[in-house]
Amino acid sequence: MTDREWREAIDMRSSLVSVGLVVVSGALLRYWNLRHGSVGPFETEIVDPVLQLIHTGSYRPQALVRPTLPIYLHALVAIVHFILGAITGVWRSLAEFGPGQVIAWGRGFSALVGTAVVFIVYQIGMRWGARHALLAAGLMAVTPTHVAVSRQIGEGSPLTFFSALSLLLSLIAIERGGRRRFILAGLAAGFAAASHYAGAIVVVVPLVAAWMTTSDESSRVSRAVAVSLAAVAAFVVATPLSVGDLPAFLNGFAIAASPTGAGMAGDVELLRQLVWALQWPGVVLAFAGLSLGIVRAMTGPGHTRWTLLVSFPVAYFALVAWHGAASDAILLPLLPAMTVIAAIAVISGVSLLRRFDIPRAARTALIAALTVVAVLPPAVFSIELVRQAGRESVGELRTRDTRTSARADRSR
């Protein structure tokens, strides 16, 4: 089976206008009403250490239950915010810089990183075709799970970013070869692990790429060792307490890595999260695309890139389900690959109908219909999420006005 059977002639022609609209749509969902809404507990777990770093210059938890890369990233954003504010005379000391200031720019940074993921997914999809890339990026732009974490301060946004970046860099390494490119993919995987301990599984992606690539002059073993060392180095640099305060790191990792013992209930929870992320049409298309991808991984051509795309979601979901982890951010590393796989089901799956002499107009209409079915449900949920943030803001204002009026009445 040739690649031509899976693509239309226009599949490799990219449109800057189209991808620009998709990225802008993703940015709107992530930035609209961004400052509104209540501060969640996950945000507090990042904001408090950031303020501790800024005010005391150190962060020393008793147990490092989460890696520190998100904390350091948001601390850097807060420092830039403070410096600019000090230059313009907004504040004159650190005492005037509190949680509200960290949240304001921190959420904006998370939204920026989340928007960048949409473009990275587009670049991943371009390895299969322009229409694959547009549909995959569109799905990533409206996925409620990713929209939600991109609107908050936390580990979700950087975890997804570095997971997607590791996949893209691994595909580039397969195409162009060179140990340096595999090392870059390993570094991205290490930063994913430094965002969330579950991100350590992402190192499977560059390792598979390094092992299956045969065009490079270096040996498979040397490439795999280079990828592993790069991932470890990135994790240590982004989580220096892993060596600077080893007891805190080991205690925190033990707490985070302890199986929940949820069993079947945990597996059901993982499936529920996957359905919430992609909605039922997207999940069905993703499983259909996974089947098509497995066939191509076995029959070719393009064994390596197809294996890379379909093996990681299967391995990651199986490991997470076996462990019993079911946090809100646990499936985020899957989403970039799953959106591309769902796009493959729509574009490549329908393109196979060329074998039966079905007119191109009919195939195009079917692709358009499946695109709407895949994108519309998660888009509706994401739009409602953004509107809910605005309603929470209005409710908070009304509550504050009521309290102010009550205090005024009592003062009379």
* Residue 85 DSSP SS3: helix
- 246: tokens are 């080893």
Q: Residue 392: what pLDDT?
A: 62
| pLDDT, tens digit (0-9, with 9 covering 90-100), for 40-99 | 778 888 999 999 999 888 888 888 988 999 999 999 999 999 999 999 988 888 888 888
Q: In the structure, what pLDDT confidence band is assigned to residue 13 with cuts at 50, 70 and 90?
A: low
pLDDT tens digits for range 158-185: 999 999 999 999 999 999 888 899 999 9
What is the reported pLDDT for 265?
61
> What phi, psi does 302 have (nearest 5°)?
75, 40
pLDDT, one tens digit per residue, over 327-343 is: 767 899 999 999 999 99
d(CA 287, CA 302): 20
> Using CA of residue 271, residue 278, residue 393, residue 108, what is the dihedral sign?
positive
Query: pTM of the predicted model, to two decimals?
Result: 0.90
pLDDT in tens, 200-223: 999 999 999 999 887 667 788 899
Q: How far, CA to CA in Å, does 86 sit from each of 58, 81, 346?
A: 22, 9, 52
362 confidence band (pLDDT: 50, 70, 90): confident
Tokens 């709107």 found at: 28
Residue 11 has pLDDT above 90, yes or no: no
Q: Which of 248-252, 259-263, 407-411 has the lowest mean pLDDT?
A: 407-411
Mean pLDDT of 237-247: 92
| Whole-number pLDDT of residue 342 | 96
User: In this structure, is the dihedral angle defined by the CA atoms of residues 121, 382, 26 and 187, taken in order, positive or negative?
Assistant: negative
How many other C-beta atoms are found inside a 10 Å radius of the C-beta of residue 241?
18
pLDDT at position 404 is 36
Preceding amide of 301 cis, omega within 30: yes
Q: Which two tokens stand for residue 125?
A: 């999809």
- The one-letter amino acid code at 21 reads L
Q: Could you give the CA distance from residue 358 to residue 347 in angstroms, rounded to a whole number?
A: 15
Predicted confidence (pLDDT) at residue 405 exceeds the cutoff of 60: no
* For the chain, counts of helices (H) and of strands (E): 16, 0
pLDDT band at 396; cut points 50, 70, 90: very low
CA distance 250 to 252: 5
- pLDDT (0 to 100) of residue 273: 87
Look over the chain and give the mean of its residue pLDDT values, rounded to a whole number: 86
Residue with tokens 């005379």: 89
- pLDDT, greater one: 326 or 316: 316
53-84 per-residue burial string, b: 16 or more CB within 10 A, e: under 16 = bbeeeebebeebbbbbbbbbbbbebbeebbee
* Digit-coded pLDDT (tens) for 106-138: 999 999 999 999 999 999 999 998 999 999 999
pLDDT at 2: 45
Domain range list for the chain:
16-411
